[in-house]
Amino acid sequence: MNRQKIGNFSGSKNYLIIGDEDPYYSVEVIVHEQEKLKETGMKFEVIHFNGKHTIHSETLKKILHEI
């Protein structure tokens, strides 16, 4: 993602939500993606949950209560 597009996210709270058993993303891939996002200057919070490559309802509820 380029810096121009990152500007679109500057006024919002952003999340990287990852299941600890996600079959598509290894720890190495996740770390690499986090580093790429940090290099762009995008601010984001990483949330880990127990589960696979799904939408974790409890995590979504938590985020909704924050915003």
Span 25-35, pLDDT tens digits: 999 999 999 99
Looking at the structure of the chain, the number of domains it has is 1
Which residue is it, tokens 């290099």?
Answer: 39
pTM: 0.71
Q: CA torsion 54→57→59→61, rounded to 10°?
A: 150
Domain residue limits at 60: 3-66
Give the 3-state secondary structure of residue 57: helix
- CA pair distance 53, 36, nearest whole angstrom: 21
* Reported confidence tier of residue 1, pLDDT bands at 50, 70, 90: low
